[in-house]
């Protein structure tokens, strides 16, 4: 099997005459943590939809763990999990029971389910809150529960879509650090979608900067960036920001010109 957990080859997505993804190709090696960084509307959620099999590309191929995520969805069951910007917990289940949901679907025996839920609740510092219902948890605690749930099935690949963006900066920072520890402990591969430049370079070992329509503007070794710019991140941050703004300007110009020409 391929050593890459994700392979995207010459993928384009059109919604009618709107081009959301433009001839995109990249691969992600197993065990790595890759941030997809892009401004709003860059096509990040569209890309996640392609990877989890909710959307078929107009052209090109997508492979996740060697499988076509649309046609071979069953083969990927239990291999992938996902955490979203809103935690999407079931309000009638306790935190622990929410963490157990995925394992129930995968028919993990009850005792093991309980044990694994306790472990992952401990990893997100919620060992004392397992009996509480979502309404009795703070926003940060709900997001922690959602992360524990994503890890509890023992996936090979985790997707995060803006999982930390609704939290205050201090809470988000703590949770990002926990996420890194949990990913490393379970040697899971991860794709983290975010519009936060700080978050991307803090959480990942590789950062792909996306322009709109979705295409790669830059591909960075995040550890190297942290080493070089960690003490003085602001100028580097500005550089990345400018890269995204310039690409948008160029796109807008091209679009305006094509309107005149046609
Ligand atoms: N089903 C659809 N039909 C038509 N257009 C769509 C559809 N889904 C997404 N789009 C468009 O594709 C573009 C990319 O959308 P997408 O949701 O992937 O962006 P995003 O990078 O996730 O943005 P955000 O940061 O705001 O979540 C947007 O212009 C959006 O309006
Ligand atoms: Mg989105």
pLDDT 10s digits, 164-214: 888 888 888 999 999 999 999 999 999 999 999 999 999 999 999 998 888
pLDDT of residue 163: 84
Judge whether 21 and 41 are in contact, CB under 8 Å: no
> By three-state DSSP, how is residue 214 classified?
strand
User: Cα(36) to centroid of ligand 2, in Å?
Assistant: 11
User: Per-residue pLDDT for 256 more than 90?
Assistant: no
Nearest CA to ligand 1 atom 24: 40
Task: Give yes or no for a contact between 9 and 60, defined as CB atoms under 8 angstroms apart.
Answer: yes
How far apart (Å, rounded) are the C-alpha atoms in residues 239 and 1? 38
Among the bound ligands, the one closest to the CA of 212: 1
Q: How far is CA 48 from the centre of its chain?
A: 8
- For residue 251, the model assigns a pLDDT of 83
Residue 102 alpha carbon to ligand 1 centre in Å: 27
- Mean pLDDT along residues 210-228: 93
Give nearest CA residue, ligand 1 atom 2: 15
pLDDT of residue 2: 52
Average pLDDT over residues 152-159: 95
Span of 140-144, 236-240, 257-261 with lowest mean pLDDT: 257-261
Helix (H) or strand (E) segment spanning residue 69 = none
């Amino acid at each position: 099997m391929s050593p890459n957990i994700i392979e995207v080859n010459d993928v384009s997505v059109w919604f009618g005459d709107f081009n959301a993804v433009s001839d995109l190709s990249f691969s992600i090696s197993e065990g790595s943590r890759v941030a997809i960084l892009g401004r709003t509307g860059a096509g990040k959620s569209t890309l996640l939809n392609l990877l989890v099999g909710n959307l078929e590309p107009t052209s090109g191929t997508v492979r996740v763990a060697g499988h076509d995520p649309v046609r071979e969805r069953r083969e990927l069951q239990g291999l992938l999990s996902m955490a979203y910007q809103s935690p999407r917990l079931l309000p009638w289940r306790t935190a622990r029971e929410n963490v157990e949901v995925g394992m129930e679907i995968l028919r993990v025996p009850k005792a093991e389910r309980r044990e694994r839920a306790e472990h992952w609740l401990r990893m997100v510092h919620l060992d004392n809150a397992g009996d509480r219902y979502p309404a009795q948890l703070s926003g940060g605690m709900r997001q922690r529960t959602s992360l524990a749930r994503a890890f509890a099935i023992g996936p090979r690949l985790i997707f995060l879509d803006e999982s930390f963006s609704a939290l205050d900066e201090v809470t988000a920072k703590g949770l990002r650090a926990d996420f890194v520890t949990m990913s490393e402990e379970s040697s899971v591969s991860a794709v983290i979608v975010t519009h936060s430049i700080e978050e991307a370079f803090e959480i990942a070992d590789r950062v792909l900067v996306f322009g709109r329509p979705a295409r790669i503007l830059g591909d960075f070794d995040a550890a190297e960036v942290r080493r070089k710019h960690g003490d003085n991140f602001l100028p580097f941050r500005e550089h990345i920001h400018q890269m995204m703004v310039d690409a948008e300007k160029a796109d807008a110009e091209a679009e305006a010109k094509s309107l005149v020409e046609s």
